[in-house]
Amino acid sequence: MTAAHCTACHRALAGTSCDARPWIIDGVHIAPTRYGSESGSSTDIAPQCHDCAAPIGAFHHFGCDMERCPHETQATSCLACPEPTEEDAA
């Protein structure tokens, strides 16, 4: 059995951090939020993201359902953020 890998950084989804990809909104580069530092995070967060397995303090992997965008909403469904493209995962 092989581990799943991130399409952006190609690391195994097993306790690793993704490369820091900035959000680019209207030409402005915005740093991504690290797992565990999202606003509203509980003090009892899991040691790893339950979707992409990023550890506390690491960047979520590309396409993670738990990643928050700069608008503090779920990144994969934010209507104000640009849709991720294949180039974003390259």
Split into its structural domains, the chain has a count of 1
In angstroms, the Cα distances linking 84 to 23, 41, 75 are 10, 24, 9
pLDDT at 57: 92
How far apart CA 79 and CA 85 sit, in angstroms, is 15
* Structural domain range at position 20: 1-90
- pLDDT, average across residues 34-57: 82
Residue 34 pairs in a beta bridge with 59
- pLDDT, average across residues 25-45: 78
pLDDT at 84: 59
Q: Would the pLDDT of 58 be above 90?
A: yes
pTM: 0.75
- Residues of the chain with pLDDT > 90, as a percent, come to 9
Q: Would the pLDDT of 88 be above 60?
A: no
